[in-house]
Amino acid sequence: MSLYLAGWFFNLGQGAEIYQYAIADLFVFDFPESWGAVAAQRGYSSTELYPFLYPPYIAAFFAPLSTQLDAAGFSLVLYIVHLPMVFASILLSWKVAGQPGHWGVWLAVALGLFFVTAGGLLALAQNQLQITIVFILLLGFERYQAGKLRLAAVLFALAGSIKIAPMAVGVLFLARKQWRGAGTMAGAGLLILAGSVLWAGVWLHQAYAAQLAEIGDNVYINRQNWSLYSLLYQLEALFEGASLGSGIDVTTVETAPAWLKLVNASVLILGIIWVWKRFRPGVKRHQEVALFVFLLTILGLTSPLGWSHNFIPMVYFAPALLYWFSQRIGVLVISAVFGGQMLLLQLYLATQYTGLNWAQMAGTSAVLLGAAVFAFVSARPEVANSADDAVS
């Protein structure tokens, strides 16, 4: 609904409606009447209202579609695009990993996990743009492995223009002193920004920047926000015996303390340093891939809004664990990493609300474990069974 709403208001020349409201209010479902009126008029339920957290050119891009289609038609178009992208992303991940085993096994494992984990299932159910972002990142990394650095850089910049965090993928170029790739990525990013400003105007970009600053100042505790921010804040509340919020289905918004911002930033910096130090010429393919997935996972964890769908790259590459470890150990690792991400477990924990959001804590703990697993693999020069482990 956020894409539809933003496109609708942009087309009407009412850009202020997109960014002018406080994020803290929107996440506790305190929506302006103008949003509710459009939702009712175009066939959306008020429960489908979400804040628009993308740059202005995305609103401009969806404006024609929003005005030509009703809610059902708009959603159908996105499904037609996103569902093939999920399949393509899984097959891309298989190729990137060196095509270990049969592609059908890889597809079955990844697709199975996609449809039983909260991040995967909800990403598709809500038509999250993250599906597109991850596809672009995977395509960029595949091109990077093929030696097409400039095209990879443009694709990375495109993904980073939709959500800022993927811009950190540029560390791959820096780690190997591939200055042409780094320069191309920076240049492409600036060109996209300039085009966005020309298309949508300066004011909307200023409003968008203010929105991003507001997001970083708060902690958003929601069962689908698997961010380190939320986990650490809840752990502090647990030790202090405090109760947060009034229910599991409500997003609790708290002011982020300085210590939390410091710890979060430190984890992000250390994660990027880990990738920068290890993503060097001569590493094996499985190490490259593990570092790539680790980086994307850390970027999701350290975002104040680390929604469960931010971690679908981990789902796409889960079958690799069956080859990087022995199959028995691989199955155990997959069970441990994705157990806490299962939608059924998340729904059960949602009924166990006791003043703390246990579903959020389980999800974040699971992806933290996943980050640790991929970091561990990235440090191992040899794995149990890899079809293509040549020096990259």
pLDDT in tens, 170-193: 999 999 999 999 999 999 999 999
Mean pLDDT over the full length of the chain = 89
Note whether residue 119 is domain-resident. yes
Q: Which of 69, 100, 118 is the last residue of a domain?
A: 69
> Is residue 199 located within the same domain as residue 324?
yes
Q: Which of 69, 98, 127 is the last residue of a domain?
A: 69
Instruction: Note the maximum CA span of the chain.
Output: 59
Mark 18-33 as b/e (b = at least 16 C-beta within 10 Å): bbebebbebbeeebee
Structure letter (DSSP) for residue 274: H
Note whether residue 325 is domain-resident. yes
pLDDT band for position 390 (cuts 50, 70, 90): very low
Note whether residue 392 is domain-resident. no
> Is residue 227 located within the same domain as residue 284?
yes
Q: What is the pLDDT of residue 387?
A: 52
| pTM of the predicted model as reported, rounded to 2 decimal places | 0.92
> Is residue 125 located within the same domain as residue 65?
no
pLDDT band for position 13 (cuts 50, 70, 90): confident
Residue type, 86: V
- The whole-angstrom separation of Cα 21 and Cα 103 is 46
Question: Domain residues for 304?
Answer: 90-378
Residue 63 tokens read as: 């404006």
Average pLDDT (318-327) is 94
* Least confident interval from 106-110, 178-182, 232-236, 247-251: 247-251
Average pLDDT (192-216) is 91
> Is residue 16 located within the same domain as residue 114?
no
Residue 199 predicted with pLDDT over 70? yes
> Is residue 45 located within the same domain as residue 101?
no
> Is residue 49 located within the same domain as residue 121?
no
Note whether residue 388 is domain-resident. no
Residue 277 CB contacts under 8 Å (≥ 6 apart), including other chains: 175
**Residue pointed to by tokens 């002011």:** 255
> Is residue 61 located within the same domain as residue 100?
no
Q: Of the candidates 366, 344, 361, which has an alpha carbon nearest to the alpha carbon of residue 116?
A: 344
Note whether residue 107 is domain-resident. yes
Note whether residue 82 is domain-resident. no
> Is residue 127 located within the same domain as residue 215?
yes
> Is residue 56 located within the same domain as residue 172?
no
pLDDT band for position 375 (cuts 50, 70, 90): very high
Q: Which of 38, 69, 100 is the last residue of a domain?
A: 69
> Is residue 129 located within the same domain as residue 238?
yes
Q: What is the pLDDT of residue 353?
A: 67
> Is residue 284 located within the same domain as residue 358?
yes
Q: What is the pLDDT of residue 25?
A: 66
Note whether residue 53 is domain-resident. yes
Count of C-beta atoms within a 10 Å radius of residue 16:
13
Number of domains the chain is built from: 2
Q: Are 6 and 54 in contact (CB under 8 A)?
A: yes
> Is residue 176 located within the same domain as residue 31?
no
Note whether residue 170 is domain-resident. yes
